[in-house]
């Protein structure tokens, strides 16, 4: 499985290193990883490489075109450990009690009902699993989503706690993002 990057990925990679982020949250070979709001697979493909053939990556996005592109790339690159599904995150439960990590890659603010998506994550996670939210800091920038829709760390924390999660850590992930790790 070779690495293949699109030009828009190169620009994003200048700000984020998906392999480093995924390794930092404890993703390892053989794990089950759920990428909610996966888009074209910026985190999906690095996760699939890390979990390897003994692991599984569930890639979920509301955009069927993005899922189609992801499936085509997965097929072209020989990935057999990616299960891609087009559906709203508010209805998505990729598996019950089987995920080691449910990951929101800078998209929790995009969901119509982020609280429901977090509650769904709890259904998917093993008791020892982790919810990981990588998101935009709530400061004005010349790029990224408008400040008005970004979730502050406190807002994201309150939503997780309201869904029954315990926040384990909060850290900066570069100059533009924060990373929250929580357990059920």
Q: Is 1 within a domain? A: no
Residues of the chain above pLDDT 70, percent:
92
Whichever domain contains 137, its CATH number is 3.40.50.150
Per the structure, the complete domain to which residue 11 belongs is given by 7-143+157-183
Cα separations (Å) of 138 from 45, 111, 167? 28, 17, 19
pLDDT score, position 15? 76
Task: Give the predicted TM-score (pTM) of the model.
Answer: 0.92
Predicted confidence (pLDDT) at residue 6 exceeds the cutoff of 80: no
Rounded to whole angstroms, the Cα distance separating 87 from 157 reads 25
pLDDT score, position 143? 86
Q: Is 151 within a domain? A: no
Q: List pLDDT tens digits, range 57-75.
A: 999 999 999 999 999 999 9
On average, the pLDDT of the chain sits at 93
What is the tally of structural domains in the chain? Answer: 1
């Amino acid at each position: 499985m070779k690495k293949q990057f699109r030009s828009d990925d190169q620009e994003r990679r200048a700000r984020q290193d998906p392999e480093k982020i995924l390794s930092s949250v404890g993703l390892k070979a053989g794990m089950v990883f759920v990428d909610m709001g996966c888009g074209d697979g910026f985190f999906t493909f690095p996760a699939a490489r890390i979990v390897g053939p003994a692991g599984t990556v569930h890639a979920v996005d509301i955009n069927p075109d993005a899922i189609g592109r992801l499936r085509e790339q997965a097929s072209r690159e020989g990935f057999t450990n990616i299960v891609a599904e087009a559906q709203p995150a508010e209805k998505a439960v990729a598996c019950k009690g089987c995920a080691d990590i449910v990951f929101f890659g800078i998209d929790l603010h995009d969901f119509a009902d982020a609280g429901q998506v977090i509650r769904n994550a709890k259904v998917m996670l093993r008791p020892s699993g982790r919810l990981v939210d990588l998101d935009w800091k709530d400061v004005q920038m010349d790029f990224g989503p408008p400040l008005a829709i970004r979730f502050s760390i406190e807002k994201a924390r309150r939503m997780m706690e309201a869904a029954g999660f315990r926040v384990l850590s909060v850290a900066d992930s570069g100059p533009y993002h924060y990373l929250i790790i929580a357990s059920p």
